[in-house]
Structure 1
C-alpha cells in the first residue's frame, strides 16, 4: 500500500523532489555570493563618500563660520584731521570677508568674551580703544626720534572648539588683516608725506626703514582665549570621548542582542567548534526587548564609571565629574535602547541601519575634528539630528565649558532625551504590533 501510494502520488506529480531543481540551486548559489557583495559595496560607497567629502577640502565648504568683530577704537587726530581708523578697518573687514562663508558678528568686548566662553563663536578680532592714537604716534615717530610701540590688533582663538577651528580662524584673519594692513599703511604713508611737504612743494624723502615700517604698520597678535590644560589632546579628547559613548551604546546593544537571543534560543551560540542551539523560549517580542533594554540600562552606569576611571588614570582633567558620569550614562542608555529597538523592528537589516545611523553618518557630521561650518552643507544638515553630534556637544560642554547649558549641554540633553523617546516608542509599538499579529520568533516549521 505504501509503495503503491507513493507511486500514485509520483504519477500525479504530487511528490516533492528530494533535491532542488538545478535552476533553483543555481539561483540560491548566485544569491549567496552576490547579495553580500552588493550590500558591502553600497555600504562602503556611502562610507567613502561621507568621509572623503568631510575631510578633503574643508576651506572650500566654509559657510557661516562665526567670528566676532570688536571695534573699541575711540579715534584721534592724525595730520590735523579727526580719524577713526578702527571704524575704517571694521568696515573694510565686513566688505572684504564673504558673508556666506564667514559670519562676522559686530559686538562689544563683553559679548565676545561671553560667546567665546559658551562655544558660540570660534574667534574674535579685537581693535583696542587707542588704536588710532597709537597709529598717529607711530606715523610721527617715522620722522621724529622717540620710543614707540606698533599699533596692534588682537585675534582671540578658542582652542576649546578644536585645533582645526583655531587654524581656520588664523587663516581667515591673517588673509583679511594683511589686506587691511596694506591699505592702512598706504593711507598712513600718504599722510606722513603730506606733512613733510615744504611750502615750495618739495618733500623730505623718508628713509627706507621708515617707509618699510609705514607700509605695514599693524601688528596682529594671536592669542588663545581660555587655553586648554594638559591632557586634553589639543581639544580632541572631547570628540574621542563622545565616540566612546556612541560605541558603548551601539556596540553594547549589538552584543546584548546576540547574547540574549542565544540564551533564549532564538539564535545559535558558537564558540570556536562548539555549537549549541537551545530550544526557543516562549517569550514575546516585547518582553524580549524589555529584557535587552534592562540590561543596557544596568550596564550604562558601569561603563560610564569605567570610562571616567580610565580617563583619570591617563591624566585627563575632569572638572565636572558628576555631570560627565550622569550624561555619559544617559547617552549610552539612549543610544543602546534605540539601537535595540531598530533591530527589533527591522531584524538583521537593523544592524546595517544602526551602523549607518550611528557611525557612517555620525562621524563626519559630528563636528568633533572639523567644525560643522567647514563641512559640506548636506553633512552639516545631518548634524541637526545625528546622535554623535548631540553627544559631542554635551561632552565638550562638560569637559571644556564648565558644563554650561548655553555651551551645548542643554541642546545635548534635550536631543538625547528625544532620541531615547523615539527609541522607546519605536520598540514598544513595533514589537507589540508583531506580537498581536502572531508574528512570533519561531522556526517556520513550528508556526501554526
Structure 2
C-alpha cells in the first residue's frame, strides 16, 4: 500500500520563467480542438440522407394472392421484389420478415419503420381492375407504412421520404401493368366498335395503390417529439462530467494543492500530506454521494413538468449509475493526466459524444466514422438505456441491456485507470509537488 508523502517532501513554490512553448501551446491546442469540432459537428449535420448506411426498415408481405384469368397471381410478391431491387442496399438494411417479427423489431426499437402489404392486396387489385369497366363503388388496395417515432422522430421522417419515393415508382409500374391488362380485356372483337376507358377509370388505374403512413405506437404528450430521452441523457452525462471537474477542483483546494480565487480574493492553504490514491478515494466518495441526489433532483423536476415516466424508480437507479460512472471515470482521467485530463474528458464525453449519441440524428444517418464511435461512446450507451426506460417499457432488448452493461463496464474501467495510475505515481514517490507553503488564510491580492 503506498504511503502518504511527508510534509517535508513538498518544497516551497518557485517562480520559473515561462518558456515560449508555454505561450504557443494554448493556440495550438485550441486550433486542434476547433478542427475536431468542425469535423464532428459539421460532418454530423451536413447531409444525413447522403450518409445513410445500414438504416433498418422491415418489409412484411402478407399477400395471399388471387386467381386472375384462371391463373394464380401474387402482386404482393412482385411489389416486394421491386422494393428490394429499388431501395439501395448500401443505404437501407431491409429486413424481409413476418408480421410478428416486424412488430417485435418495432417494439424494441430495432427498426425505424415497416412496410406492410396486406393479405388481400392482390384480390383488391383485381376488384379495382374489374370496377374500372363495371359500375360500382370500390376501394383501392392499401399498403401501410408504419414509422417508429419512439426510436427516432428524425428517422421517422427519413422512413417516410424513402417509402414515398419507392412507392411512387411501384405505384406507377403497377398502374401501367393494370391499365394494359384492362385495355386488353376491352379489346373489341372483329367488326365491333372499340371500347375506351373513361377518364376517371384511367386516373384510378394510373395510381391504383393507396399508401397510408401512420406511426407505430405514437409518442405521448410531454416528450418533446421524442427529444426528452436525448436531453435526459444530456443532463445525466453533463452532471457527471461537470461534477467530476467541480469535485476535483474543490477537493484540491481544500487539501491545499490548488488555490481558490473568488473575485479579488485569493486563498491557498498549506497542502495536506495525502497520497494521490487516498485523494482519489475521497473524490470518488463525493461523486458516489452526489450521484443519487442529482438523479433524484432530475426525476423530481421531470415529474413536476408532467413528463411521462412509467419506470421512475428504474430511471432513478440507472441515472445514479450513469452519473457515478461518468464522474468516477472523469476523476480518474484527471488523476492520471492532470490538467490535460480536462481536455481529454471534454473530448470523450462531449465533443465525440454528442454527434454519436443518436439522440437527434440516428447513427445510421451519420458518417461512418461517427457511427463507429457509437460502439463505445458513453453518451450513446446512456441514451439507449434512457430511451428504453422512457419509450420502450424498459425492455432489455430495446437498449437497456446494452446501456446497462456498457455503463458498468465504463465504471469499472474508470476505477481501474484511477487505481493503477495513482498507485503507480505513489509507489514511485511522484507526489504532488511544486505547491506553496502559504498559511491557511485568505489573502487579498493587490
SS in structure 2 at match of 1:402: coil
1:171 alignment partner, SS class: helix
1:362 aligns with 2:353: yes
Structure 1 unaligned blocks of 5 or more: 1-18
Matches within 5 A, 1:39-438: 39-200=29-190, 203-438=194-429
Q: CA deviation at 1:199?
A: 1.9
Equivalent-residue separation in structure 1 for 2:150 and 2:69 (angstroms): 44
Q: Matched residue of 1:35: which SS?
A: helix
* Number of residue equivalences: 422
Which residue number corresponds to residue 442 of structure 2? Answer: none
**1:444 positional shift:** 6.8
Who is 1:9 aligned against? Answer: none
Measured in 2, the distance between the counterparts of 1:174 and 1:440 equals: 65
Partner of 2:8: none
Partner of 1:35: 25
Q: Normalized against structure 2, the TM-score is what?
A: 0.93
For 1:90 and 1:246, locate their aligned partners in 2 and report how far apart those are by CA, in whole Å.
43
- Structure 1 SS opposite 2:114: strand
CA deviation after TM superposition for structure 1 residue 77, in Å: 2.1
The one-character-per-residue Cα deviations of 1:257-298 (angstroms, maximum 9, x if unpaired) are 000000000000111111110100011000000000000000
Closer/same/farther in 2, CA of residues 163 and 62 from structure 1, 3 Å limit: same
Residues 280 and 442 in structure 1, CA contact (< 8 A), matched pair in contact too:
no
Unaligned runs of 5+ in 2: 1-14, 438-446
SS of 2:394's partner is coil
Distance 1:351 1:325 in 2: 28
Q: Secondary structure at the match of 2:150?
A: helix
Q: Is the 8 A contact 2:113 2:147 kept in 1?
A: yes
CA separation in 2, counterparts of 1:444 and 1:227?
Answer: 59
Residues 326 and 444 of structure 1: CA distance in aligned 2, closer, same or farther (over 3 Å):
closer
Contact 2:271 2:435 in 1 (8 A): no
Post-superposition Cα deviations, 1:182-235, rounded to whole Å, max 9, x if no partner, equal 110011001101111122186411111111110110010001100010000000
How far the C-alpha of 1:443 sits from its partner, in A, is 1.6
Instruction: Pick 1 or 2: higher relative contact order, CA cutoff 8 A, min separation 6.
Output: 2
- Output the CA distance in 2 between the equivalents of 1:445 and 1:334: 33
Q: Is the contact made by 1:193 and 1:203 (CA closer than 8 Å) also made in structure 2? A: no
TM-fit CA distance, 1:82:
2.0
| Contact map agreement 2:145 2:212 (CA 8 A) in 1 | yes
CA distance change for structure 1 residues 40 and 118 in 2, over 3 Å: closer, same or farther? same
CA 1:45–1:429 in 2, change beyond 3 Å: closer, same or farther?
A: same
Deviation at 1:31, TM superposition (A): 3.5
SS at match of 2:93: strand
SS in 1 for 2:144: strand
Q: Deviations 1:311-363 (Å, cap 9, x if unpaired)?
A: 11112101000110000000000000000000000000000000000000000
Structure with the greater alpha carbon radius of gyration = 1
- Pairwise CA RMSD of aligned residues? 1.4
Residue pair 2:257, 2:435 contacting (<8 A) in 1 also: no
Q: Per-residue deviation at 1:143?
A: 1.1
**Cα offsets for 1:230-271 (capped at 9, x unmatched):** 000000110111011110110000000000000000000111
Q: What residue in structure 2 maps to residue 10 of structure 1?
A: none
CA distance in 2, matches of 1:31, 1:419: 35
Which structure is higher in helix share? 1
Say yes or no: does 1:439 pair with 2:430: yes
